[in-house]
Chains A and B, each alone.
Chain A
Amino acid sequence: DIQMTQSPSSLSASVGDRVTITCRASQDITNYLAWFQQKPGKAPKSLIYGSSTLQSGVPSKFSGSGSGTDFTLTISSLQPEDSATYYCQHYNSYPFTFGQGTKLEIK
């Protein structure tokens, strides 16, 4: 099974900052990587698929990159509403697996 490792597990940033979250796969998943945002008590929301394709309606402040085993999610111009937990997930082969999540706090 492919393991997904996210880092950091948590981070704190200020309004207006740019942050980067990293996701590493234990083997090559080409670009079959998705990112999700989840706020407390809510269902996850799709942000990015195919490593870098923005889901319809998601603001361009979110961007993704990477291929193979190393991927990043970058969020620019942070706002209070970006406070959430972010997850990566591969869908290269079954079983699909998620990263453990990155909790983003906006100071």
Chain B
Amino acid sequence: EVQLVESGGDLAQPGGSLRLSCAASGFTFSSYAMNWVRQAPGKGLEWVSSITSGGGSTYYADSVKGRFTISRDNSKNTLNLQMNNLRAEDTAVYYCAKRGYSDLWGRGTLVTVSS
């Protein structure tokens, strides 16, 4: 089955860290760029970060630049998002999505940043 499954969401304190993962299956993961998109409670979709198929280039929204790091392990079909120095405004459901136009989405994982 073609799917993406996110994990790693949790409650974190401001200034803390979390690492999200996205497990891909049913397609050739190494052939596609991947994205992280988030949605704060009651709000719209916000693109967070993207990585090219080989992992050689990464891109970030200004709101997370310098705090978040996207990476991938093509041998394990896994996409990651290391989130450091978390802020309350990072509270959101985080989705991973496949290729530039996000033709496949995971179900999301909830990150809550609160003291």
Q: Interface residues, chain A, CB within 8 Å of chain B?
A: 32, 34, 36, 38, 43-46, 49-50, 55, 87, 89, 91, 94-101
Contact = CB atoms under 8 A, between A and B. Distances in A.
Interface in B45-91: 45-47, 50, 59-62
Is the interface on chain B under 10, 10 to 19, 20 to 34, or 35 or more residues? 20 to 34
A95 B59 contact: yes
B100 interface: yes
Interface string B76-115: 0000000000000000000101001111111110000000
Tell me the interface secondary structure of chain A in the complex: loop
Interface of B: 35, 37, 44-47, 50, 59-62, 95, 97, 100-108
B100 A91 contact: yes
A94 B105 contact: no
A46 B108 contact: no
A36 B108 contact: no
Nearest to B57: A94
B36 to A, nearest CB: 11
Given A43-B108, A97-B47, A34 B101 contact: yes
Contacts of B106: 43
Contacts of B46: 98
Nearest to A53: B101
A101 B62 CA distance: 21
Contact of B45 (A45, A91, A95, A101): A101
B55 to A, nearest CB: 16
A44 B104 contact: no
A98 B95 CA distance: 14
Contacts of A100: 44
Given A91-B100, A95-B62, A45 B105 contact: yes
A50 B101 contact: yes
15 contacts: A32-B100, A32-B101, A36-B45, A43-B105, A43-B107, A44-B45, A44-B97, A46-B101, A55-B103, A89-B47, A89-B102, A94-B50, A96-B47, A96-B100, A99-B44
